[in-house]
Structure 1
Amino acid sequence: MPLFRLLLVAFFALQLVVVPAVAEAARQFVDAAGRSVEIPDRIERVLAAGPPASVLLYVLSPEKMVGWVRSPSAAEKEFLAAPYRDLPETGRLTGRGNTANIEMVLSMKPDIIIDVGSVDATYASLADRVQEQTGIPYVLIDGAFARTPETLREVAGLLGVGTRGEELASYAERTMDWQKQAVAGIPDAERPRVYYGRGPDGLETGAAGSINMEILDVVGARNVAALSGSGGLSNVSIEQVLGWDPDVILTLNPDFQKSVMTDPTWANLRAVKEGRVYRAPTLPYGWFDSPPGVNRLMAVTWLTAILYPGKGEFDLRERTREFYRLFYQVDLSQEQLDRLLAESMGR
């Protein structure tokens, strides 16, 4: 047989072998924005577009992370597992103060980019643009807190760690179901009215519909700032807070927690008079917020303890230890528990 014909036969034979293999090496994934994205069948390197995605990747499959959106501080690293806590910083592609760029994305050589959180046309446009410029699949995942079990299963399936995802999703379902049953008999009119104060002066908060506040809806509490309208985070005045007169004040900021209990301006608030000013733990991530990711699952237990005393009897310290072992893969010492829970149960 002539050499040319031999080469031609060999070429087509190779196509029969290679083309199906290539076709099987990719799959279609429809993300939360309805975008159909072709993703690798096997994913080993993942880039988080923002902080909620970074937390989700860590709890599901830290060995696949190419880095952190923001390098953990020394205090945060204490509550994260080695060696993942020492991964490099990549910056963020999405949200306020984005610091990443296309050159960084390409240099990290991820198989896929994942963003978790709110999903709208702006986020979809960013995903399309980055994907077009880099050739790297970019998927958007709905990060609504009520969907936490579904989110864990969905991303675990995407990454090929279904067993781990089911373990965490089952924990999330049990926790959320337990909380609903614990407070089921409380009439809406008797549910606690809560103000969440951000920053050192406590005058930034979330209005109705803010992703930063949705955990209150999940546990059946009422956000007093919903009276100011809808949207994301915004600044309010002390006069507005005095008018709302919340039953409970929540914060992440130790300076605000201290000042609200001593500043005469706040003294007449019901929450201050009754000593119901609570600071949510923040290590390695905020229980209530910061970022608004799966880390907030711990707030379901904590908020039940402080908002509904005596309901659903449980040991908060043991629940905390269990969560950190399962999600963050660290075993807490008694001293670490003491520091985490300090000032979290009111002043």
Structure 2
Amino acid sequence: MRPHRSRPRLRALALALAFGSLATIGWAAPLGVAVAADLEALFELLTDAYADSATPPVRVDEGEHLVLRHGEPGWRHTGAVAVLPGVVLEIVADHDEAAPFMRFATSAAGQRILVSAGFLPDHVRVTDGAGRSFDVAQPVARLASPYGVATYLAYGVGAGDRIVLAGFLGARDPEGAAAMTRIDRRFPDLHAVTSQAAVNVETIAGAAPDVVFAAARSEWIGAVEALGIPVVVFDGESSEGLVAGMRLAGKIFGPDAAARAEAWISYYEHVLEKVDAATSGANARPSVLFTGTARTTVASGAMYQSALIAAAGGTSSTAALPGYWNEVGVEQVLLWNPEVILVPPYGGASVAAIEADAEWRLLDAVRAGRVLRVPKLVAPWDTPVPDSVLAVVWLAEVLHPGAVDLDCASEAAFFYRRFYDYQIGSEEVDVLCSP
């Protein structure tokens, strides 16, 4: 390693070598960073601002632990972050300070330094899911997301640590709450709201957010905006809407979030393309009924659940139904006679209740034992959240066993490590991916 060190550091190193050990004087080998020539000013700015280490990073010509270079982190790569658009900080060798320095460089504090120095803009122009265009000041350090679906978009782009108030869809049950705590240790102390309807303007204002995430149906949008707090509306009831939502969330939280959003989009498209290629030539596309919070509450053809069924190589029994959740009679369900019935991991419906019902036992799906609960770690996989990419893999395996060259267990392990920074356990994966 040939570092560019100041003379005091060189004298300290010489003393350490004279005594035969760096550890004898408390010297830790510094974090070495190889820096592209035209990025030296950026590196010096970040290094000077980084105050969490007794041994700040140093620029080196060889033996580096990190590389600051031009490029983009690929969707398969978990060891790189985007400091600026088109500028990557990539880990190439282990060092205790590598991950903390990378986190600082992409944090709100790091972004604030880069904004002040003119490396990043002080605002971004966004167009939200309601088609409204406005500016969002940078960086966004505090997020309120009463809309439980949008909360997971923030986690997916690496901004979960900026949440100060949120709805956590799927975290109300003990298992979901425990999993959310494993993903984010702050969860028990975060201001979690049970629903958007339970939130008022005073609650949101009290969290002092820089920005608020909402659904189009949120009733408090105008009142919050009147306080000068920007509200970003998300609309994700389609694959296109989810992709747009991820890209929007990425833009709001800065370069690394934007790069992570693009990485997720690339991964999502990769999965959709592989499943489509494997199932498009199938002789049959099994019919699938997606039930809701009750057995006779079913997802419409316009909802994301129907899009997932189609993406996995199935045909939604309710594809012709308009609107949102629909109430139907048992007679209609018998006419559809689906080959597979999906039950969400929320609400009052259950696999056991369907299997125990005498009328429902007349259905092919029930007789064949193909009434299945949709998985969830925290966020239900059937909702328009980043995790739903795994629902495509899981359901494709159910509908077309052996046809798709993707494995739910492997994809789940990759997904949670890449997009939630969470090393999921093998037992958790087994529960999620078992049909």
Q: Please give the range of the TM-score, normalised by the shorter of the 2 chains.
A: 0.7 to 0.9
Question: How big is the shift at 1:27?
Answer: 4.0
**Bigger relative contact order, structure 1 or 2, given CA contacts below 8 A and separation 6+?**
1
- Which position in structure 2 is the counterpart of 1:99? 198
Q: 1 CA distance for matches of 2:156 and 2:420?
A: 6
Question: How big is the shift at 1:280?
Answer: 1.1
TM-score by length of 1: 0.79
Q: 2 CA distance for matches of 1:245 and 1:90?
A: 40
- Which position in structure 2 is the counterpart of 1:38? 135
Matched, 1:265 2:359: yes
Question: How big is the shift at 1:298?
Answer: 1.3
- Which position in structure 1 is the counterpart of 2:191? 89
Matched, 1:62 2:160: yes
Over alpha carbons, which structure has the higher Rg? 2
Equivalent of residue 79 in structure 1, options 164, 170, 179: 179
Matched, 1:284 2:378: yes
Question: How big is the shift at 1:106?
Answer: 0.9
Partner deviation per Cα, 1:293-337 (whole Å, 9 max, x = no partner): 333221111111011122113332222222222233322222222
Q: 2 CA distance for matches of 1:255 and 1:53?
A: 24
Partner deviation per Cα, 1:73-132 (whole Å, 9 max, x = no partner): 4412443323243342343774xxx1111111111111111235xx5xx56x85334212
Q: What is the count of residue pairs matched by the alignment?
A: 306
TM-score by length of 2: 0.64
- Which position in structure 2 is the counterpart of 1:214? 307
> Is the deviation greater in 257-266 or in 51-60?
257-266
Percent identity between matched residues is 25
Equivalent of residue 109 in structure 1, options 186, 208, 232: 208
Partner deviation per Cα, 1:193-228 (whole Å, 9 max, x = no partner): 1111223x522111221344332233342221234x
Q: Which amino acid aligns with 1:302?
A: W
Q: 1 CA distance for matches of 2:276 and 2:395?
A: 12
CA contact (8 A) 2:351 2:373 kept: yes
Question: How big is the shift at 1:246?
Answer: 0.6
Comparing both structures, which one devotes a greater share of its residues to helix? 1
Q: 1 CA distance for matches of 2:349 and 2:138?
A: 48
> Is the deviation greater in 234-243 or in 138-147?
138-147
- Which position in structure 2 is the counterpart of 1:166? 262
Q: 1 CA distance for matches of 2:371 and 2:258?
A: 40
How does 1:172-187 map onto structure 2 within 5 Å?
172-186=268-282
Q: Which amino acid aligns with 1:146?
A: S
Q: 2 CA distance for matches of 1:90 and 1:335?
A: 27
Q: 2 CA distance for matches of 1:233 and 1:255?
A: 14
SS at match of 1:267: helix
SS at match of 2:130: coil
CA contact (8 A) 1:90 1:100 kept: no
CA contact (8 A) 1:209 1:231 kept: yes
SS at match of 2:134: strand
Would the alpha carbon gap of residues 84 and 106 (structure 1) be closer, same or farther in structure 2, given more than 3 Å must change? Answer: same
SS at match of 1:67: strand
Q: Which amino acid aligns with 1:69?
A: G
Would the alpha carbon gap of residues 126 and 211 (structure 1) be closer, same or farther in structure 2, given more than 3 Å must change? Answer: farther
CA contact (8 A) 2:312 2:395 kept: yes
Q: 2 CA distance for matches of 1:336 and 1:27?
A: 39
Gaps of 5+ in 1: 1-20
SS at match of 1:139: strand
Q: 2 CA distance for matches of 1:293 and 1:211?
A: 10
Matched, 1:243 2:335: yes
Q: 1 CA distance for matches of 2:192 and 2:424?
A: 28
Equivalent of residue 429 in structure 2, options 332, 337, 340: 337
